Amino acid sequence: MLEFKEVRKSFGPLEVLKGVDLTISKGDVVVILGPSGSGKTTLLRCLNFLERADAGSARLSSLEVDLRNATKKEVHAVRQKTAFVFQNYNLFNNKTALENVMEGLVTGRRIPKEAAREKARRALDKVGLSDKLDAYPVQLSGGQQQRVGIARALALDPEVILFDEPTSALDPELVGEVLGVMRQIAADGTTMLVVTHEMQFAKEVASRVVFMDGGVVVESGTPEDIFGRPKEERTRQFLRRVLPEEYNYSI
């Protein structure tokens, strides 16, 4: 359903992605783990053309594009099939929750306002915010703002949702509510590509875990493979660092 081939990206002399290959099937929840600077977020941004890759291709269903040379029409076609959930919400402060979700439907998808309003209502209800339709971002907690961001993505009916560290900007006590919504979305069969540091979410929800470091995929497998029997020493080092209570002696 979604396939990257040989994706490369540099910022000046710094090569951030060094020929990344990745395949995601329909209904998969693929979680990308790795240290800061490993290229995880850049990979997502290159897929959605928030960054222009230096080389590589992406195939999304029947659509295949050259990530470096894609035309405006091809970029638009990819964005019609994907939705992006940002770590810092990216909401319009002068619009209500309902209006924030409607915006992409009206301006990006050219859906009539009444139909967009109904889709936005359903999406906000799905993330548990049916009582916050008329609230502005300043009136919402960080967790609620991120749930508006997720509703905005859901309303677009994308083939795949890209999550860029969706809980990293949240206070610890608000992380659970956002992960709960993501668990429900995954249970509904939505295809998801998630960059996160939430190890428990990766263990419980992912169908596949990808570990990246230094701009390459070090290894990938089921959560049982990666957390229980990682093959690569670099993966083991990472797990010992982020989950020292579990991995100091077990691997």
DSSP, collapsed to helix, strand or coil, labels residue 152 as: helix
Closest residue by Cα to residue 22 from 9, 37, 7: 7
Measured in whole angstroms, the distance separating CA 230 from the mean position of its chain's CA atoms is 24
Q: Please report which confidence band the pLDDT of residue 222 belongs to, taking 50, 70 and 90 as the band edges.
A: very high
Structure tokens that stand for 18 in this block: 């060094």
Model confidence over 4-19: pLDDT tens digits?
999 999 999 999 999 9
Tell me how far apart the alpha carbons of residues 21 and 130 are, in angstroms, rounded to a whole number.
40
Whether the Cβ atoms of residue 91 and residue 149 lie closer than 8 Å to each other: yes
Structure tokens that stand for 249 in this block: 């002696």
pLDDT of residue 1: 84
Tell me how far apart the alpha carbons of residues 55 and 68 are, in angstroms, rounded to a whole number.
5
E strand or H helix that includes residue 202 = helix 199-205
Whether the Cβ atoms of residue 243 and residue 251 lie closer than 8 Å to each other: no
Q: Which pTM was predicted?
A: 0.93
Q: Please report which confidence band the pLDDT of residue 245 belongs to, taking 50, 70 and 90 as the band edges.
A: confident
Whether the Cβ atoms of residue 130 and residue 183 lie closer than 8 Å to each other: no
Q: How many other CB atoms sit within 10 Å of the CB of residue 7?
A: 25
pLDDT of residue 231: 96
Amino acid at 159: E
- The phi and psi torsions of 141 (rounded to 5 degrees) equal -70, 170
Model confidence over 176-188: pLDDT tens digits?
999 999 999 999 9
> Is pLDDT at 251 greater than 60 in this prediction?
no
DSSP string, 4-27: EEEEEEEETTEEEEEEEEEEE-TT
Tell me how far apart the alpha carbons of residues 118 and 206 are, in angstroms, rounded to a whole number.
31
Tell me how far apart the alpha carbons of residues 158 and 207 are, in angstroms, rounded to a whole number.
19
As beta bridge partners, residue 217 has 212
As beta bridge partners, residue 192 has 29, 161
Structure tokens that stand for 22 in this block: 């990745």
